[in-house]
Amino acid sequence: MSTASMAAVPAQPAQDIGLLYRDHHLWLRSWLLRRLGCSEHAADVAHDTFMRLLGARVALPLLREPRAYLRTTAQRLLVDRARHDAIERAWLAEMQALAEHDQAYPSPEEALDALRILQTLARVLDAVAPRARAAFLLHHLDGLTHEAVAAQLGVSDRMVRKYLAQVLVQVAVEAA
């Protein structure tokens, strides 16, 4: 069978996550290990990738390239982790700067409250729709205006405001 005729063969459904895991988990971990250089982090991201697929609660699409699908999902998780780490580093840098300038250094209770807020925000961002998460991160972490976020996401400025409000409402509900 030629490659041209193979391309015309319909893709097999990859609805069985167990089969997908069995056939591609080791490959995904190896790919992540090459990128991250740490077997523990690679295992964590591989695990999170399959958990994301399970958590989607939708049937997996027909996958011609399951590894490309897994790689894309894992890359998105890496971006989310990088942004989360950037928020944490910025907070720690700010606390260090305050301490160095002999300004009011937060009490342990205030530091714990701030950490709880960051953890709540991280949980909410994991739970909201991808576009709402992207809008929130682009606006609050990357500092883009509503208009710039709208242009990047291909939505209206009003939709960006709606996404931001959704995240903030969810944070308030989670924190209550």
Say what the alpha-carbon torsion angle 29, 32, 38, 39 is, to the nearest 10 degrees: 0
Phi, psi for residue 62 in degrees, rounded to 5:
-65, 125
Helix (H), strand (E), coil (C) string for 24-53: HHHHHHHHHHHHHCCHHHHHHHHHHHHHHH
Q: What is the pLDDT of residues 142-162, one digit of tens each?
A: 889 999 999 999 999 999 999
Q: What is the pLDDT of residues 53-105, one digit of tens each?
A: 887 655 566 667 889 889 998 999 998 888 888 888 888 888 777 777 766 66
Three-state DSSP at 62 gives strand
